[in-house]
Each structure stands twice: as C-alpha cells, then as structure tokens.
A and B are shown apart, each in its own frame.
Chain A
C-alpha cells in the first residue's frame, strides 16, 4: 500500500519519509459503539432486498467526489466488477 491518488503529488522529502516509515494497524477492529463503514457494511447494503435502498446507494455514489471515488467491496466482488 502507499500509492496516492494519481492526480496529486507528494513533496519528495515527505515521500521518502513515508516510504521509510512503518505503520501498524490494530489486530482488533473497533467494537461495541464503534461502527465504521467497512466491507461487511457495504455487503449488507449490496445484498439488501430493498430496491429503493439500493437505488439510494447508487445515487449517493454518483454524487461522491467527482474526481476519484472510493468504494469498498468484498474481494469476491472485486473480480466480478473489475472484469466488466
């Protein structure tokens, strides 16, 4: 990991520092009151039987950042979408 959004650039001294830095992520994801938008949550939306809800999600995605958009998906779905 570590490649930024293509259109934006990083100052060389910071880029070097980031490349040499080691970043750690927790083994445990947040619990209880901590709910973050993650893979499982997106799956729940995509699997929703509510067509209107799906449409709302599509509309929401269409209105996201006009430059580049980040969408979470399950690994299994990656292949299906990427092949389109």
Chain B
C-alpha cells in the first residue's frame, strides 16, 4: 500500500469508552462540507480551476448561506462537523466572511478557510486580523509560482507567522506542474524556512479551468497508465454560490454537462436530499475506494477503451477523473453503472471493509436482505 499520512481513529461505543483503536489513511466521509464564498480574488492565477480573479464578483448570498449552513448543521443530527470556506479568496470580502463564519459557529460547525495570504501586509496587521476572526480553526495558505505573481511571498510569510502566533494549525499548499521544477523547489525552500515539512502539501497542475489556456507551457510528465491511488478529495462535498453541490471542489466544476459528481442544485432540491445522494452515490464512493483507475479498467473491459485518453498526467487523480467525466459516452456508461445493483453492493460493502462506513449499506438495505453474510470476526 502506498504511504499516506496515518490518521488514528478511535472507535467509541455508546458509553463513550474507547473500545478499539485502528489506523486508517482515509478522511472520513462528509465530516466537512465546503462552501465557496466568492469567486473574487486579488490574483488571477494561470492555474486556477475555477477561474477566480479581480473581475469576478459572484459570491454567496448571505441569506442563502444562512439557510444552507443551518441545513448542513442539521443534517443527520450534526453529522457534519466542519464548514470549509474557499474561493476565490474568502478574505477579499471580510464582512461576508465574518458573517458566514458567525453563522457556522452559531450552528455548531467549526470553520476552516483557504486563503492566498494577501492580507499579510504586516505581521501585526495579519495577527490582529486573525484575532478578530476567532471562529477560524484551520487555515490553508496557498503560495506557488502562480500565486506569487500577484501575492508577494513576504505577505505569505507574514500570514504564516501570524497564523502560528495565533495558534491556528495550517497547511501551506504549493502546486506545480513538475516537482523537479527549480521554481517549485525555490518556493518550497522558502516555505520550509517558515514551516515544517508536515505543514506543506503539494499538488500537480493540470490543464483545466484557466490552466487550459497554458496547456502548452505545462511540463508535467505523462504516462500511459492512470494513477492507481484512491481519491480523497471526494470525501468532502462543496456548495457553490449558485446552489450547485459537487462531490468535491475539483476540476469537474469546469464541466458544463451533467456528470455523476454533480450532486444537484439547492435551487431545486433540499440539502438533505443532496447530501443523501452523496452518501449513496456509487461512482463517487468507487472513486474514494479505488480511484479512477478501477473505473478505467471497467470501461476497457466494457469495450469503451476508445473513449479513454491514451496518456495520463503522472500522479494526478483529478486529471484522470476529469478525463472520464468530460466524455459523453463515458458519462452515459457511468450513469448505467450507478444503477447496477451488483456494483452498488460491492461499493457499499467496500466502504464497510476499507473505510468502516456503513451508511450506504443501511440506506441500501443490504444488511437486512443479503443471504450470504459472513462476519470477519
């Protein structure tokens, strides 16, 4: 098994005494839900999947946010613990950010925020700002060659300093088209002067969103084999200002057509129903269990290999998933697969086996009717 960051899971019984301890490497499903607060950003990064920038002004309506946050918090009696605010740049409209965070806190949700750190003009100012936003439990600060065209690293350094000073845990996210790129290594080296390696996360740029316009400049490596790893991004659905809810905040938002990870619109469907769809979405959970490679293998076996790309970006799960969802014939096949009872059953039990998740089994009724049950104990 490939290595990830181990996460220790304590299994608590009704009386809250610890009865078992296990290590898993997957984030739990839907314990946090994303909310894209605004498309506005001081930066217009070349790699931005959602094409955020200074000329974008769409943002979540506060009354929508109020209703959605209330519904998220009420879902399955507080199943969701964390609201992850993202953008665009959430700090670009402080009044809105503050209001949304207060709503989340009132609803009993913890808050994490993604930012580019532009607000770090000075150490003291950055610290005062964070102290004025006590609802923030976690920050993810983005800096890389794309962001640094717009946000000087000095500001990021100040933001990191203030984040540490305020006692807020954080990641620094660095994306690159190549981990061998000297500029990426330079940025990483700069960040390492302020933060431990554990605080740094690296991602691979790929040509979706605004990055599709710089495709010829990207220097990622290609391979004829799709990545073999499971998807961890699909553990957190994300709500957009127009009410659309996606299974992740990945490149799929760039697709105009319907696809399995577009869970629905809050303009048409209640939050509970959409989140229930996420819980029972077999394609989404197959991605979480086995990644896009398993679906690609099934597509090849089904004789649909001609609809698949001949090359994949090395190590980019999102790119492989995007290549599936952006093809009409593949989407049609996935829609049929979603209805396949045997596939659904395998995914439901796979979630139980690998992820210790029983929600899909309970909703699917398998625990009542399956005649071939065998305990592993």
**A, B assembled together:** yes
List A residues at the B interface (Cβ < 8 Å).
Answer: 1-6, 8-15, 17-18, 22-41, 43-45, 47-50, 53, 56-57, 59-60, 63-75, 77-78, 81-82, 84
Size class of the B contact interface (CB-based, 8 Å): 35 or more
B203 within 8 A of A: yes
The answer to whether residues A41 and B230 also contact, given A18-B350, A31-B201 and a CB cut-off of 8 A, is no
A41 & B112 in contact (Cβ 8 Å cutoff): yes
Segment of B133-141, B154-162, B216-224, B263-271 engaged in the interface with chain A: B133-141
Segment at the A interface, from B5-13, B186-194, B277-285, B331-339: B5-13
Q: Mark B5-35 against chain A: 1 for CB-CB distance below 8 A, else 0.
A: 1111111111001100111111110011010
Q: Given known contacts A26-B227, A63-B77, what 17 new A-B pairs fall within 8 Å (CB)?
A: A1-B25, A3-B377, A4-B352, A23-B289, A25-B229, A27-B2, A32-B140, A35-B114, A37-B235, A40-B138, A44-B112, A64-B77, A65-B79, A67-B358, A69-B11, A84-B17, A84-B18
Interface of A is mostly: loop
Q: Assess whether A11 is in contact with B108, with CB atoms less than 8 Å apart.
A: no
With a CB–CB cut-off of 8 A, which chain B residues contact A41? 32, 82, 110, 112, 137-138, 169
Partner of A45, one of B14, B87, B137: B137
Given known contacts A28-B202, A72-B9, A78-B21, A10 and B376 CB-to-CB distance under 8 angstroms: yes
B290: A residues at CB distance < 8 A = 23
With CB as the reference atom, state the residue of chain A lying closest to B86: A33
Q: Contacts A27-B3, A56-B108, A72-B28: A82 and B10 contacting too (C-beta < 8 A)?
A: yes
Chain B hits for A60, CB < 8 A: 78, 81, 108
Q: Cβ of A78: which chain B residues have Cβ within 8 Å of it?
A: 8, 10, 21
> Does A22 contact B1, Cβ atoms closer than 8 Å?
yes
A53 and B86 alpha carbons, distance in the complex (Å) = 21
What is the chain B residue whose CB lies nearest that of A18? B353
Question: When each residue 268-300 of chain B gets 1 if its CB lies under 8 Å from chain A and 0 otherwise, what string results?
Answer: 000000000000000000000111000000000
20 contacts between A and B (CB under 8 A): A1-B25, A2-B354, A3-B377, A4-B358, A8-B361, A10-B373, A10-B376, A14-B349, A28-B202, A28-B315, A29-B201, A37-B32, A41-B110, A41-B138, A44-B112, A44-B169, A59-B78, A67-B14, A68-B12, A82-B18
A57→B34 CA distance, assembly (Å):
18
Q: Indicate whether B319 reaches chain A with its CB closer than 8 angstroms.
A: no
Asked whether A25 lies within 8 Å of B354 as measured between CB atoms, the reply is no
Enumerate chain A residues within 8 angstroms of B233, measured Cβ to Cβ. 30, 34, 36
On B, residues with C-beta under 8 Å from A are 1-14, 17-18, 21-28, 31-32, 34, 36, 49-50, 77-79, 81-82, 84, 86-87, 105, 108, 110, 112, 114, 134-135, 137-138, 140, 142, 167-169, 171, 173-175, 201-204, 227-233, 235-236, 238, 248-250, 289-291, 315, 317, 345-346, 349-350, 352-354, 356, 358, 361, 367, 370, 372-377
